[in-house]
Structure 1
């Protein structure tokens, strides 16, 4: 059983993913981290990125995240181009991850753009992490060395949270760590029972 986990920038979806990692019967794939690993290690992907965005895409053999972000979060076509290069490689990597973790109760695939990339239909269940708009901005400004304008540009490149909530099986309101932990445990118990029923 594969569960999609998403949420907008600043919602804390990676924190939620790590809470699920505490269960030894669950395997968690954090797509953004794996995409960065692939971009920094796969020569074919690196060649395609340089061809698409120029040699400045990499600095000292590492992805120049600031350079790429400045391009793609202000240009929808460039964002789609980036995704068309990276997503197939991530998809293939995730398929291998699923095979390696076939013995787990369920697998979580965490991605900020689960719905935007039209991959949501591939999952058995969908979870969205929700946090109010202003709180998300506050969290990102505190976490990253960025500007409110840059944060809003990234938000505008993603679906509205209420749209994601409407299409999800489970919603985690990530307002306090304690309430989020309770939600994670509750959903884990439900998913484990569902998997036991299927098995």
Structure 2
């Protein structure tokens, strides 16, 4: 691989695994981090192509008159319907992909960049990345973390989210690197070790 190529590293992990914490450590080391989930939310209200696609599929009620996303409407009509959710994801993921490509070009002077996404494998975006890190924690620990972080969620709701994500063992099989966040191992040394590897790659 030529030295002028910016390595693209993906970070994923199940809900409550601690992937955002890992990304914050990389960011502290000066590595640019692209948070796909927050960019997706932003694009849904700023990207003209995406907005018209959503309105076409789900109607004008998907947006408030001021242009903000009507989350309640989407929650009631889309998020609980697997077919409609898949349709929404098929609209959102390509636009996030295009936005991410532009972002990578802007950060091409860096040795490597990171893309953080909950659905890295499911959305197919892992294909364009050079290496993938999976942040791992046991399911019981992840559920406990989410419940203490998101007071509005119930155990059933969290289990449902976990059930919709790719099984953990499948993610681990596809990982190039695994960061274990189960409170038995320090995270920072694991991140620093990978940071050194990526700088030398």
TM-score w.r.t. the length of structure 1 is 0.87
Name the CA shift for 1:143/1:62 in 2 (closer, same or farther; >3 Å).
farther
C-alpha distance in structure 1 between counterparts of 2:170 and 2:108, whole Å: 31
Instruction: String of CA shifts for 1:51-85, please: whole Å, max 9, x gaps.
Output: 32344433453224454345555333222111111
Is 1:180 matched with 2:172? no
1:47-66 to 2 correspondences below 5 Å: 47-59=52-64, 60-65=66-71
RMSD: 2.0
Name the CA shift for 1:46/1:177 in 2 (closer, same or farther; >3 Å).
farther
In the other structure, the counterpart of 1:120 is: 126
Name the CA shift for 1:132/1:100 in 2 (closer, same or farther; >3 Å).
same
Q: 2:50 aligns with which of 37, 42, 45?
A: 45
Name the CA shift for 1:51/1:146 in 2 (closer, same or farther; >3 Å).
farther
SS state at 2:132 partner: strand
Instruction: String of CA shifts for 1:129-177, please: whole Å, max 9, x gaps.
Output: 1111111112222222222222222222210111101111111111349
Name the CA shift for 1:73/1:152 in 2 (closer, same or farther; >3 Å).
farther
SS state at 2:123 partner: coil
1:21-170 to 2 correspondences below 5 Å: 21-24=27-30, 26-59=31-64, 60-65=66-71, 67-69=73-75, 71-144=77-150, 145-170=152-177
TM-score w.r.t. the length of structure 2 is 0.86
Name the CA shift for 1:121/1:43 in 2 (closer, same or farther; >3 Å).
closer
Given that residues 128 and 165 in structure 1 are in contact (C-alpha distance below 8 angstroms), is that contact kept between their aligned partners in structure 2?
yes
Shift of 1:124: 1.0
Shift of 1:115: 0.9
